[in-house]
Amino acid sequence: MQDFKQQQREAAAIRTDISKAYKAISDAKARYIKAKLKAKSKKQTEELETLFADLEDYASKQEIQDVYGYGDITLTEYDRLCNLWDAREEYTKQNGIYSDRVVEMLNKAAARLGDDYQEILYEADTAARENERNQQGRFPKDATTWNV
C-alpha cells in the first residue's frame, strides 16, 4: 500500500511539474510574440494607415453600399472600397497570429512535455483504477451480494 501511495504522489508531482513547464513555455511564447509584434507594428501601422486610409470615412461595409446607392460613388469606386474593406478584415483576422521558427519550436516543446514520463503516469493511472476496483469489491453496495 505504501508503494501505491508513493507512486500516486510521484505521478501527481509529475503532472504538476508538466503544468508548470507548460505555463512557463506559454508565458515565454507570449512575451516573445509581444516583443516581435511591437517592433513589427510600428512599421506596419504606418503602412496600414496609408493602405486603408480610404476606409476612414466608412463605419461598415453597409455604409459603403448606402453611399453607392445614393449615387455618391461610382460602381468602380464601390467595388474598390468593398475589396479594400474585405482585405482589411482578412488582415485583421490574421494579424493576431504571429508565427516564426522560435514560436514553432516553443509549440513543439510544449506538445512534447511529459513524453519521458508517460510510462510512469500510465502505470500510476492503471494502479489507481485497479485500486478503485479493489475498493469497490470489498464493500458491496447491496449486502445480498456477499457470497458466504
Q: Residue 147: pLDDT above 80?
A: no
Break the chain into its structural domains and give their ranges. Answer: 2-139
DSSP track, 35-64: HHHHHHHHHHHHHHHHHTGGGTT-SSHHHH
- Sign (positive or negative) of CA dihedral 135, 139, 141, 147: positive
pLDDT category of residue 73 using cuts at 50, 70 and 90: confident
Residue 145 has pLDDT above 60, yes or no: no
Global model pTM greater than 0.75: no
pLDDT at 98: 67
Cell numbers for 57: 470615412
- Decide if pLDDT at 92 tops 80: no
pLDDT band at 148 (very low <50, low <70, confident <90, very high): very low
User: Which pLDDT band holds residue 41 (cuts at 50, 70, 90)?
Assistant: low
- 106's CB contacts (< 8 A; 6+ apart) are 25, 28, 29, 32
Selection from 103, 107, 97, 92 nearest residue 55 by Cα: 92
Between 6 and 37, where is the model more confident?
6
- Evaluate if residue 6 carries a pLDDT over 70: yes
Span 119-145, average pLDDT: 80
| Cell, residue 27 | 508565458
Least confident of 41-55, 70-84, 101-115, 122-136: 41-55
Share of the chain above pLDDT 90, in %: 26
